[in-house]
Chains A and B, each alone.
Chain A
Amino acid sequence: MRAELFLQYLVSGLIYGSIYAAVAIGFNIIYNATGIINFAQGEFAMLGGMIASSLASRLPLALAMAAAVAATTLVGIGMERAFLRRIARGGVLKMIIATIGLSIAIREIALLIWGESVRTLPFFSGTEVSSVGIAGAHFSPQVFWVLGVTALVVAALTAFFKLTLIGKAMRGCSANREGASLCGIDPDLMVTLAFGLSAAIGAIAGCAVAPLTQTHYAIGTGLGIKGFTVAAFGGLGNSLAAVGAGLILGMLESFSIIVVPEAYKDVVSIVVLLAVLFAKPSGIFGSRAAGALKDY
């Protein structure tokens, strides 16, 4: 294989991988807080991109994206407060099914608002035609934006969970809900925060990737499946593992073009998902010892 082609595939794998990782981290945050898989996770990314693209014609790009992230965060919080909290006593399975319903509702509402047209966001810097050359391969500057934003999100989240009292309280709540209650931490508030945080991260990912891949009312489904694959692949609940798993899946997809036609790209992630669920449901980075310390 020619070196620049290899580099091209590599970078494309990195980009998709980091977006999948961001969506997977959203899955993990909610999973840690509630024990459920939020199947509306991909919809957060769709909303982020779509709202930002609508606002971008009237507002400066950065402001449009900030507003999109804020609006999506409110959708996440509203979803938890208005629906999921009310059925929390009914058990995890009911809540998971409710998230599937909510994801369909959000998608249909998006279809009513934005129609079927494909939208895009302006590039964060430069235009579609500007490119950065590395070793004979050419990349859009947006590539570096996507990688930078994802790295920043991961670093900020790690700092939040390791260093701030609220972040620690959220971890404590997922480790032992009753113990957290007895420390004066309000578990319901932590769950709401988790939904807000996870919606915000999804929206950021949706904004970052929109200039490269364009956006559409239905992209959430695909992103959700990929994100879930990555979350399961890395080990549910482990956000750093999600980054590793995301990059691996991105690479697998991108290099699969060498052996199978591009149309089969999505098949790769489904195969990975099935293989992980059959062979190692705790995920490749999930260790039994650490898992045993979790209370759920």
Chain B
Amino acid sequence: MLKARNLEAGYGPLRVLKGLSLHVAPGEIVAIIGANGAGKSTLLGSLAGLVRPTSGSVTLRGEDVTGSRPERMLAAGCSLVPEGRKLFAPMTVRENLELGGYSVRRRLGRKAFEEDLAGVFELFPRLGERQGQLAGTMSGGEQQMLAIGRSLMSRPELIMLDEPSMGLAPLVIKQIFSAISALRSRGKTVLVVEQNAKAILKIASRGYVMETGSLVLEGTGQELLANRDVQRAYLGKEYSSIADEREGR
């Protein structure tokens, strides 16, 4: 589905991505975990067309899309749910979703849009109940649902999510993660950047660990959950307790 090769990007003289490569196969949920400032958001930004890579290549279903603008990436079937959600706060839930379907509606007409809208309300019934509410006045969890719903409206094959659990209560995080699992059962491919390593690795088919602009580790969700370095750095366990578990104490 998606392949990035030797991707480099940055802001001015600052190099944030230092030549990293990754791939996402159709139907996978791929997680990228890593500390603050590792460059995770820049990575997604450069895949979605918000940040122009300085070198390297990105291909989507075999087509070279390196440095394409967001409109083109969207048309190619790749949509980003950005960090901080970037909703249209003074507009209603319904209007936000309408703009999510902006390109689909212009291409395929109103009927396709209504179908997509019904699909989003099926996944997030809460949004259906609150169609007339202003997006900016909703709770964090509802806003995240709306951001995912807005992205779905563009009929993406690959959905990229940037820190979907940020700032949310544990119970709400659970809902969001089960929605991400539901995306896969709807035939979507998911690439997700997350601080909440434990929760995301449980549902991910594969994961990468990112450190200062490079991907340093790759494995299935289970492998990474069992990895000692990952446990220590991202799952908040001490070496001693890891050693204890290994020895069956």
B154 at the interface (CB under 8 A from A): yes
A168 at the interface (CB under 8 A from B): yes
Contact of B102 with A165 in the complex, beta carbons under 8 Å: yes
Contact of B89 with A293 in the complex, beta carbons under 8 Å: yes
A169 at the interface (CB under 8 A from B): yes
Instruction: Kindly provide the distance from the CB of B169 to the nearest chain A CB, expressed in whole angstroms.
Output: 22
* Residue in B82, B86, B98, B154 whose beta carbon sits within 8 Å of that of A184 in the complex: B154
Contact of B50 with A183 in the complex, beta carbons under 8 Å: no
A178 at the interface (CB under 8 A from B): yes
B150 at the interface (CB under 8 A from A): yes
With A168-B91, A171-B91, A183-B154 known as contacts, the answer to whether A293 contacts B86 (CB < 8 A) is no
B interface SS class: helix
A290 at the interface (CB under 8 A from B): yes
Contacts of A176 in B (CB 8 A): 86-89
Q: Which of A266-292 contact B (CB under 8 A)?
A: 290, 292
A96 at the interface (CB under 8 A from B): no
* Residue in A180, A186, A293, A295 whose beta carbon sits within 8 Å of that of B99 in the complex: A180
Contact of B86 with A178 in the complex, beta carbons under 8 Å: yes
Kindly supply a per-residue 1/0 record for chain A positions 156-189, scoring 1 wherever the CB is within 8 Å of any chain B CB and 0 otherwise: 0000000001001101100110111111111000
B105 at the interface (CB under 8 A from A): yes
Instruction: Kindly provide the distance from the CB of B113 to the nearest chain A CB, expressed in whole angstroms.
Output: 9
B63 at the interface (CB under 8 A from A): no
A86 at the interface (CB under 8 A from B): no
Q: How many residues of B contact A (CB 8 A)?
A: 32
Contacts of B211 in A (CB 8 A): none
Apart from A178-B50, A184-B74, A295-B89, list 17 A-B contacts with CB within 8 A. A172-B88, A175-B90, A176-B89, A178-B86, A179-B82, A179-B87, A182-B48, A182-B50, A182-B80, A182-B82, A182-B151, A183-B102, A183-B150, A184-B154, A185-B102, A290-B90, A293-B89
CB pairs A–B below 8 angstroms (22 shown) = A165-B98, A168-B91, A169-B102, A171-B88, A171-B91, A172-B88, A172-B91, A172-B95, A175-B88, A175-B91, A176-B86, A176-B88, A176-B89, A180-B99, A181-B69, A181-B71, A182-B74, A183-B74, A183-B154, A184-B74, A184-B75, A295-B89
- B residues neighboring A (CB under 8 Å): 48, 50, 69-71, 74-75, 79-80, 82, 85-91, 95-96, 98-100, 102-103, 105-106, 134, 136-137, 150-151, 154
